[in-house]
Amino acid sequence: MSNIKVILTTALIDLTNGEKEITVDASSVKEALEKLVTIYGDDFKNKIFESENKLRRFINLYVNGKDIRFLDGLETSIGVGDEITLLPAVSGGSPFNFSEKLNAQDKSQYY
């Protein structure tokens, strides 16, 4: 096992007491996530996992910048100096129709 740096985005730090980087001792992505669940509890687990061993589809996970879906998934091996990044997909927007508030010149710039 190796000390691995796990980087969390702002969308997750409300579950980690504001921590953006965490170091865990693990040899696979799955093991690293299990350690995070042990530290941060069920709220963290429920945000990351859909069911046992299945990430929620909006959770993107990278090892050294490479998407684990194109590696060995949760079984991806990690070692000294590796970094895991958890990046939830963000979507949405404003419920307001800003185009109604823009003048013709502004509309031509944005639409």
Residue 69: how many other CB atoms lie within 10 Å: 12
pLDDT at 12: 84
Please, are residues 61 and 54 in contact by the beta-carbon 8 Å criterion? no
Q: What is the pLDDT at residue 96? A: 56
Mean pLDDT by runs of 10 across the 111 residues of the chain is 87 87 94 94 90 85 93 94 88 58 57 48
Question: How many beta carbons lie within 10 A of that of residue 103, not counting itself?
Answer: 7
Q: What is the CA radius of gyration of the chain?
A: 18
Identify the sign of the CA torsion 40, 46, 48, 49: positive
Cross-strand pairs, 77: 28
Closest to 52 in 3D by CA, of 34, 69, 36, 28 = 34
- Distance CA(47)–CA(12), nearest Å, equals 8
Q: Which domains are present in the chain?
A: 2-110 (3.10.20.30)
